[in-house]
Amino acid sequence: MKRVCFAGAYDPGYPRNRILREGVRRAGWGVLEARVAEKRAWRRYPALAWALARHSREADVLLVPEFRHKDMPLVSALRGRRPVVFDPLVSRWDTLVGDWRIHSHGSAQARWNRMLDRWSLGSAQMVLCDTWAHGELLQELGAPRSQLRRVLVGAEDEFFRVVTQPPAPCASSGGVRILYIGGFLPLHGVRTILEAARILESRAAKYPPFTFQLVGRGIEYDESRAFASWHKLERVEFTGKLDYAGAPQVFASAHIVLGAFGAGAKTGRVIPHKLYQGLAAGRAVVTGDGPGVREVFTHGEQLVLVPRANAEALAAALAGLIGDADLRARLGAAARARALEVATPDAVGRTLADAIGELVPGGSA
């Protein structure tokens, strides 16, 4: 049996990580873990070196999971003859400078994060990307094209177990329930969602009853609540932070699931977890258009794509779905069928096993 060791100060509960670990295990690989919880470098690095010494000796491949750019130099230095696979999921420079705008272009922090991207990507023997569109950015930042492999994000089993048919809309439950769930990140475009809600509320007499349910907290949460309050939106609910284990049940009560609508280029490159989860649950999904999502899904067949940062277009798409239960059902059924093909832990795990199997004698298992 070939073995892969997940190494670094990663969050074992993060969905991407859980899916990869479980999926590659189902594909026949042994899974080891050299994980440390310490975030401060001066304590994390000694702890990680010790964890690698203790837990990775039987590993054929070392895999540094998402967001752990700062762990790559140490893992690479201690790898011995074993190849290192890096699954960045995001670019630090693209996220902190281009998306979140925490650091300005040309600042010392922007240069530092771009250098860290290049350093971490360049020290891996293989780099995973969630879409080829995202892979093009990683290539620009230092990942050799020949070392890139696409492994989709996917959804966990619990979302595929959601009851396929949503409950019938009724006035007491708010009618057709339109779900956003996430961290209120800039790439999600929550402002666009709320502007679309405002447009639909102004024309509410034309449609069956509907409610927007916004679940979670994050960067733009307070700003979003202020917008909804200022415009006196009556069909928008903010339900706050949710324990991840409760997420499938929230999808079960939804009729339409929203993806990401941010104007930035990053939104067009990625396929967020929430989108895969909505597809797995068999719900009608609406998300912003971009090359990433078009790699895997087809507009009008498995989901609805709208121009990003365009509230009028989003409102028009939602209006069509609010008033057409048959269309919602057709999209949901096709969405689930496609998700079963490409987005289960088994499917994602097979893709990962095939990729890392290229690095060791004996193939993928």
Cα 260 from Cα 274, distance rounded (Å): 9
Asked if residues 178 and 213 have their Cβ atoms less than 8 Å apart, the reply is: yes
Cα 80 from Cα 76, distance rounded (Å): 8
- Please give the single-letter amino acid code of residue 212: F
Which pLDDT belongs to residue 145?
95
What does the DSSP assignment read for 156-180? -HHHHTS-SSPPPP-GGGTSEEEEE
Q: Would you write out the chain's pLDDT as a tens digit for each of its 365 residues?
A: 999 999 999 999 999 999 999 999 999 999 999 999 988 888 999 999 999 999 999 999 999 999 999 999 999 999 999 999 999 999 999 999 999 889 999 999 999 999 999 999 999 999 999 999 999 999 999 999 999 999 999 999 999 999 888 888 987 788 999 999 999 999 999 999 999 999 999 999 999 999 999 999 999 999 999 999 999 999 999 999 999 999 999 999 999 999 999 999 999 999 999 999 999 999 999 999 999 999 999 999 999 999 999 999 999 999 999 999 999 999 999 999 999 999 999 999 999 999 999 999 876 55
- Specify the 3-state DSSP secondary structure of 258: strand
Asked if residues 345 and 23 have their Cβ atoms less than 8 Å apart, the reply is: yes
Which pLDDT belongs to residue 364?
53
The closest of 237, 8, 219, 277 to 100, measured between CA atoms, is 219
Give residue limits of the domains in the chain: 3-154+344-357, 157-342
Cα 124 from Cα 63, distance rounded (Å): 9
Please, what's the b/e burial string for 297-321 (b: 16 or more CB within 10 A of its CB; e: otherwise)? beeeebbbbbebbbbebbbebbbeb
- Specify the 3-state DSSP secondary structure of 105: coil
**Within this chain, domains 3-154+344-357 and 157-342 share the same CATH topology:** yes
Instruction: State which fold the 3-154+344-357 domain adopts.
Output: Rossmann fold (3.40.50)
Cα 109 from Cα 68, distance rounded (Å): 17
Asked if residues 283 and 259 have their Cβ atoms less than 8 Å apart, the reply is: no
**Selecting from 3.40.50.970, 3.40.50.2000, 3.40.50.10320, 3.30.1490.100, what CATH number does the domain 157-342 have?**
3.40.50.2000
The closest of 283, 361, 261, 281 to 328, measured between CA atoms, is 283
Question: What length does the chain have?
Answer: 365
The closest of 4, 60, 86 to 360, measured between CA atoms, is 60
- Please give the single-letter amino acid code of residue 221: Y
Which pLDDT belongs to residue 42?
87
User: And the tokens for 7?
Assistant: 């190494």
Which pLDDT belongs to residue 74?
96
